[in-house]
Amino acid sequence: MLHMLGFAVAMLILAWVVSIWSLGEQGKIITDLGLTITVLIGVIIALFAGIVLVWNEVEHHTILTTLAKPIARWEFVVGKYLGFSTAVIAVYYGMSLFLIVFLTFFNIMPTWELVWAIYLSSWEILIIAAVAIMFSAFASPSYSAMFSISLFIIGRFSWDIRVFIENNPKTIMRPVLEIVYTIIPHLSYFNKRYAATHAIEINWEQIFFPTLYGIVYCGLVLIIAVMAFKNRDLA
């Protein structure tokens, strides 16, 4: 994780170097690239560390030692998620803090929109961490990576699916698309980076409801993970 943190810092410095040639739009470009880089690195950590988290324990039979104690399987999965997500979020907020300091260094004062954009993006990471752990509970890392990355990409385009359904109401794919649209994580709800860059006001509903959605979605994914893990043969 520290390597990734170092990589993020290097990318932010690169963003600054690139922004020098932006004809007076340095602040916008550093903010845009900085927010995107920090979120993507957070998601990458959540994905690639999350998909081996439970699988490693099962594969190396270290889980048996843990479960020999009075710990239920669901507690194991939820505990793994809570510990892991705390670590990932700590790295993410560390990178974000560095971004804010970096921006302040260039006389770009942090706005509330920037703070809310950083906060909402953290839910994107939390959901992806939950999804990665869910797949890790019953699939091998390669399958987990494939499924989690697919869900991340589809989740980013959830709004496009909605637009496609509305623009093509008579398509025979509509029922399938409606189901897909309902079950995928709507990661676009947490993307307020545009508002942060252009100082567009974010109201409380745009913060509160996505937060609630994030909590409920993570809960749902963890319930599925617990159910899948409950019947798994650990021997």
Distance CA 207, CA 196 (A): 13
95's tokens: 């990178």
Quick check: 25 binds another protein (CB under 8 A)? yes
Distance set, CA 222 to CA 34, 61, 87, 144 (Å): 30, 22, 18, 15
Quick check: 118 binds another protein (CB under 8 A)? no
Query: 4, 5, 9, 29: which one contacts another protein (CB under 8 A)?
Result: 29
Minimum separation from the CB atom of position 218 to another protein (A) = 21
Quick check: 125 binds another protein (CB under 8 A)? no
Minimum separation from the CB atom of position 208 to another protein (A) = 22
For residues 123 and 192, is the Cβ–Cβ distance under 8 A? no
Q: Burial, 30: exposed, middle or buried (Cβ in 10 Å; 0-12, 13-18, 19+)?
A: buried
Would you call 199 helix, strand, or coil by DSSP?
A: coil
Query: 55, 191, 202, 217: which one contacts another protein (CB under 8 A)?
Result: 191
Distance CA 232, CA 43 (A): 27
Quick check: 111 binds another protein (CB under 8 A)? no
Quick check: 121 binds another protein (CB under 8 A)? no
Distance CA 228, CA 53 (A): 15
Distance CA 136, CA 50 (A): 7
Query: 4, 5, 7, 36: which one contacts another protein (CB under 8 A)?
Result: 36
# chain residues binding another protein, by CB under 8 A: 22
Query: 24, 70, 169, 175: which one contacts another protein (CB under 8 A)?
Result: 24
Query: 153, 179, 212, 234: which one contacts another protein (CB under 8 A)?
Result: 153
Minimum separation from the CB atom of position 40 to another protein (A) = 8
Minimum separation from the CB atom of position 222 to another protein (A) = 25
Nearest Cα to Cα of residue 128 among 212, 206, 217:
217
Binding site residues, another protein, CB under 8 A: 18, 21-25, 28-29, 32-33, 36, 153, 156-157, 159-160, 188, 191, 193-194, 197-198
